[in-house]
Structure 1
Amino acid sequence: MRIIEWNCQGAFRKKNDRILSLQPDILIVPECESENKLKFGDLTPKPNDFFWYGDSENKGIGIFSYSDYKFELLKIFNPRFRFIIPLKVIGKDSSFLLFAIWAMDNKEKPEERYIGQIWLAINYYSNLLSLPCILTGDFNSNKIWDEKERVGNHSDMVGFLEKKNIFCLYHMQENIEQGKEIHPTFHMYRKTEKPYHIDYFFASDLIIKDGFEIKVGKVENWIDLSDHVPLTLEVITKTKLEKINDLFSEHMTIILKELSADSKTRFNDIIADLIEKAKKIDNLNESIKNLKKREQFIEKYEKLFEIDKLINKLYE
């Protein structure tokens, strides 16, 4: 299986020839436009399956299958984490979880920007990380920026994943420490004198037990198209996903149990209403419109937790 991740820096419909010549089975493209813009069969070769999510039709994250693999968005998906997309990947010979990542800024909560988004997401999806999974994309992160104030930094993320037996494949292959990379994946402003390593493949030991190979694209082959080079993972895996109970309502019920006893009493009716609304969300399809409804719901429960924290502070 060949999985390629490449931040195309926009306008993928005008750039796809070169990356598709590498014959990916699965392709993850941060900064990719929506299907309406891609015009499958005209400007972009039609994939066997495709998933896209973003705030604007001009830029989001696109996941393409050019093989027999099919995608299924997990019902537990939390669109508040921009953009960490959890997908079941199901093929004839194997299946696994894929977390496709384009870590974004957060101007309202700077401590949650970039690596902060990923840190919050892996904690939210923590109970799924014991399953065979791959996390890949533009993390916009490196250990060299650990000192920046975040809810969780790069080293925190690496350590958290390693406890789940999920490892960074580039660093494993090259036997090199985080922050000491010798193959940059990003050149700021497309200047070769500004190199950084911010794109990654992490994978479960279950997936890589029979070996793998990571390839980092050469800057001279890609800098005319993007400020990023592609990362390619070659791996043979026969992992199979068991049935996943990932109902959004069940996950929300577990989270709401973490409220203080006082808040549970004060807001009992609101909590019951939120759980009922979450059950309705379980049955919605994966249209962007419905995913936005989910986001509005999540905003409500987050506000409830903010109120809970304020109440607890009053009693301190």
Structure 2
Amino acid sequence: MRIVSWNCSMALYKKRHLLDELAPDVAVLQEVSKKDIEGGNYPFAAWVGSNPHKGLGVIGFSPGSYRMTEPGDRGLPWHLPFSVDGLNVVALWAHQLDKDLKYVRVTHKIVDQHARFLGTGRAMIVGDFNSNTVWDHQHRGRNHSMLVDKLRGIGLDSVYHRQHQSAHGAEQAKTFFHNWDRDLGHHIDYAFVSSGVEAKVTVGEIEHWLPYSDHMPLVIDLD
């Protein structure tokens, strides 16, 4: 199964050919319009957000056994829990509810709420986390390193870090470029997968993707 996560920076309808080139079975898309998700004839589609032009969406392109298995709390922006062919997935765009509950702090609460769903032994949380260990000091008590430990405690680890034997905060590949600036790259998009699930991830190349979005796609192949 191939799962692609991409913050498409809106206007997916102008960039759809780029997603098609990646040939995903499932796409998790951030900053995507409700119309771009629900306007097609797909085996599965779901969207959540407060702005119809800019939310979190999931498209199932390949036939499969899809279902929304747990309710997504709209008070925790934004996430969509679903399953496909026995894989439990939480699609994520970690956003901001208020001054205190934002980014990695939101993700902590989402993981807490769906810990049983994610702890089944065949699960994934994937998307734009808007967090990294380098900013731990900004989120004392609920930071990224603590999130990594929390996910490890329910049996999930980052595919990128497993594959490259990299520490969090020391990633060579950047997934986001602030202000679309090549010199302001950060690694803030992740796929955490159950430790017993074989997976590989590829990060999109900046030369190809930066003209279209400040985020690079993650292409995750699961055995």
Tell whether the structures are fold-level matches, with TM greater than 0.5: yes
Q: Greater helix percent: which structure?
A: 1
Q: Indicate the SS of the match to 2:142.
A: coil
Q: Deviations over 1:258-294 (max 9, x none)?
A: xxxxxxxxxxxxxxxxxxxxxxxxxxxxxxxxxxxxx
> What is the match of residue 275 of structure 1?
none
- Per the alignment, residue 235 of structure 1 pairs with 222
- 3-state DSSP of counterpart to 2:179: helix
The equivalent residue for 2:177 is 187
Alpha-carbon spacing, 1:191–1:206, altered in 2? closer, same or farther (3 Å): same
Q: Could you tell me which residue of structure 1 aligns to residue 75 of structure 2?
A: 80
Taking the aligned partners of 2:65 and 2:18, their CA distance within structure 1 comes to: 23
Deviation by residue 1:169-198 (Cα, 9 ceiling, x = unmatched): 100100010000000000011110110000
Higher relative contact order, structure no. (Cα contacts within 8 Å, ≥ 6 residues apart): 2
1:129 to 114, 118, 125: 118
Give distance in 1, aligned partners of 2:38 and 2:80. 19
Give, in angstroms, the shift of residue 102 of structure 1.
0.3
Instruction: Evaluate the alpha carbon distance shift between residue 151 and residue 54 of structure 1 in structure 2; reply closer, same or farther with a 3 A threshold.
Output: farther
Q: CA deviation at 1:150?
A: 5.1
Paired with 1:66 and 1:10, the residues of 2 have a C-alpha distance of 20
RMSD of aligned alpha carbons: 1.6
Structure 2 CA distance for aligned equivalents of residues 105 and 130 of structure 1: 25
Matched, 1:47 2:59: no
Partner Cα distance (2:150, 2:143) in 1 = 11
Q: Tell me: CA distance 1:163–1:2, structure 2 relative to 1, closer, same or farther (3 Å).
A: same
Q: Could you say which residue in structure 2 is the equivalent of 1:56? A: 51
Are the structure 2 counterparts of residues 151 and 112 from structure 1 closer, same or farther at C-alpha, using a change threshold of 3 Å?
Answer: farther
Q: Percent identity?
A: 28
Number of residue pairs matched? 222
Give the C-alpha shift of residue 70 in structure 1.
4.2
Q: Residue 25 of structure 1 aligns to which amino acid in structure 2?
A: D
For 1:127-167, what per-residue CA distance to the aligned partner results, in whole angstroms no more than 9, with x for missing partners? 22221211100000000000013551101110011111100
Which runs of structure 1 show a deviation greater than 4 angstroms over 4 or more consecutive aligned residues?
Answer: none
- Give 1:120 deviation, angstroms: 0.8
What TM-score does the superposition give when structure 1 sets the normalisation length? 0.67
1:102 aligns with 2:93: yes
Higher strand share: 2
Judged with a 3 Å threshold, the aligned counterparts in structure 2 of structure 1 residues 122 and 38 are, in CA distance, closer, same or farther, namely closer
Q: Give the structure with higher Rg (CA).
A: 1
- 2:168 pairs with one of 149, 164, 178: 178
For residues 73 and 148 of structure 1, what CA distance do their matches in structure 2 show?
34
Answer whether contact 1:12 1:38 (CA < 8 A) is retained.
Answer: no
Gaps of 5+ in 2: none
Q: Offset at 1:35?
A: 2.9
